[in-house]
Structure 1
């Protein structure tokens, strides 16, 4: 038996993968069949960035409406328990261990692992579905890992799909153009899908999404760009997208929208560590954001300058498949230190071989760069930073 907080099984087959091996969706589907997953309305969030924000605000909106909501995001903010939440609160290590044991026991009935593997993000998705059944959840909010049709979220037909901005991330993996990537992400749509809500996209991406949705729903579902009214401070497009998708889900399942006062209270309580969040260590204040491309970096800088009159230093951690050049250009002449994560086997840092090793980063090291520090990078990196500063990630909003 695994001990409390032990999530070894989630990484077991992935850790044994060989060169060129890919996640095995058929194997994951067989495991889902063995587990007997629930049939609960699902809101799935796909896109290139902002998925976690959209999923969190969708969950908060649904909770405000009186729904019991399980949310699955990827990766965890600080730890694996952050990946699965009930009404905004991370599950316990004990509960995650129990889910891991059930997944492991179910996997024993599968044929031996060959070329493909059960991916960690896929197993956490299945664990979240199990937890939703255990908790008697009314709805599930799923954040896709990398793709859509190529991701394990595609094993669960969504009632509503939310699509954040799609751009040329994972070129050569999900597709050779942004349009091909968009088609993969929109491929999560199923014949049972009732609504698809998207942020504005570039013309080629929008056309690919619309064509994919039309093909998969028999032209029954139209892609809409829509957002409900929001309380002051809720301006970010991904947050609005999440609320719009949640409203569509409530309409689809015949439940009333939340009362305005209740909505305002719950949405105002949302906390998003690692998404333009502020933290302090002795001698320094940090703005931490999971920006991975130029526009995101520019938005983070704009937020910093709303509070500060200067930025002393910027720490950037972007692996090879992220827009390092664009981010550095957006930072202009600010002093920058790049950070590598050599312990993340799936990430490559060939462009920043001379950067700082993540293991060298400490609270004291932050302060050595100055009093006002901006920290940008992949969610794996910002999660480590949140751990270093002791950020509270147990609850993302007040239910």
Structure 2
């Protein structure tokens, strides 16, 4: 799956032409929004920021808001399988024709801007703008916007969100967003603005929490009291929350949505409808389960391939997959534990971790497992980290249903959202609808 090739050119055009060391140009993005007459003052925004769990948080927040009767447009970064599902109305991905129309509107607006000088319009920021356009076109009541990277320095801050949900914060993007985890938290919490009226976060380390609170106070003039959500405190129906590390992000999404409704004076969801909508939530790529048929005559293309796991046989029978976008030690360990509870353990683990992820932590967590490491073709990603000698390396484009079924009957797939999206694309997983309002 080539997400750049799938998207209309305007979304990635300037990013592809960027020079060495160039970063997103937030000022130019603000000018673009002004040309588009955005943000719309009558469409309040819930911004989701953090290091991990943003997609789960945004999905559960959107489902909770939809259960209240609101028409909700959600923008996530990146999409599950491709550019279409970055923008959703009440859980459903927009159509290709809608995406093309939005791209044309963006293209026309960009023509009114001066040429880029020392920065670029980022893909994630352009998708936020497209989502806001779509919300206006569809008469949406509320917007849920997931930050691409950061907070104060991300285009999501230009929407002056009414509420901010801050998920977990760890050391990803050290040296880019900040030199310490505290500085990263400060940057992410800085997505708040003068119009922010609520801010909710989960448990954070003391110094990290203090930095996030200081950033919130600075951005809102001290007018917003940050709310810390402890596990189980949100009151969400426990049986309707996902397993693993995503549970806390789902709780945060539920709680932040209810806080947004409260500060806006909108009615809370009716309990029975809320239960029905939350029960319909699907999270492809987040401990999601899939089944592949494995015919006896299926062969694998010539070339070096990983050795099958202990449950593999030449006979017919399905291959089960658990797909999870885990990118660091704790997430990998949690996904393994889930696979052990479900299966007794995986036959094989297929993982994709570029150098800027927690490669050493993932290697430690996967000790003793049969592992194949996939490498994405994206030029901005590197895969030079030393891996265990018994790990097999493959290119991401080699990951096909044939290869997956060759690995065994029980395969755990881990890695970046772009990679898990490729796998979901390869197996034809249904990702068009995340919940039923």
TM-score higher than 0.5 = yes
Deviation at 1:155, TM superposition (A): 0.7
1:234 paired to 2:241: yes
What SS does structure 1 have at the residue aligned with 2:268? Answer: coil
Equivalence for 2:264: 253
Aligned residue for 1:182, secondary structure, equals: helix
Match of residue 367, structure 1, among 405, 409, 425: 405
Say whether residues 1:282 and 2:293 are aligned partners.
yes
Which residue in 2 is equivalent to 1:293? Answer: 328
**Residues 277 and 436, structure 2, Cα contact 8 Å, conserved in 1:** yes
* Structure (1 or 2) with the larger CA radius of gyration: 2
1:117 paired with 2:120, answer yes
SS at match of 2:223: coil
Q: 1:5-25, CA deviations, whole angstroms, 9 ceiling, x for partnerless residues? A: 751111111111111111111
Question: 1:331 corresponds to which residue?
Answer: 366
Residue aligning to 1:346? 380
8 Å contact from structure 2 (residues 202, 252) kept in 1: yes
> Where do 4+ consecutive residues of structure 1 move more than 2 Å?
352-355
- Find out whether 1:268 has 2:279 as its counterpart: yes
Which one is further off, 353-362 or 305-314? 353-362
Preserved CA contact (<8 Å) 1:99 1:130: yes
Distance (Å, rounded) in 2 between the aligned partners of 1:17 and 1:389 = 33
Aligned to 1:358: 396
Q: How many residues align?
A: 394
Counterpart residue number, 1:315: 350
For residue 420 of structure 2, the aligned residue among 379, 382, 389 is 382
Task: Indicate conservation of the 8 Å contact 2:7/2:83, yes or no.
Answer: no
Q: Secondary structure, in 3 states, of the residue corresponding to 1:315?
A: strand
Q: Residue 379 of structure 1: CA displacement?
A: 0.4
C-alpha displacement at 1:298, in angstroms?
Answer: 1.3
User: Aligned-pair RMSD on alpha carbons?
Assistant: 1.3
CA distance, structure 2, for counterparts of residue 120 and residue 223 of structure 1: 30
Task: After superposing the two structures, state which structure 1 stretch, 305-314 or 145-154, moved more.
Answer: 305-314
Per-residue deviation at 1:314? 0.6
In the alignment, what sits opposite 1:398? 436
TM-score after normalising by structure 1? 0.96
Instruction: List per-residue Cα deviations over 1:133-173 (Å, max 9, x = no partner).
Output: 00111110000011101111011001000000000000111
- Structure 1 segment 1-399 matched on structure 2, within 5 A: 7-37=8-38, 38-39=40-41, 40-226=43-229, 227-231=233-237, 232-234=239-241, 236-283=247-294, 284-341=319-376, 343-351=377-385, 355-399=393-437
Q: Do the aligned residues in 1 keep the contact of 2:46 with 2:165 (CA within 8 Å)? A: yes
5+ residue gaps in structure 1? none
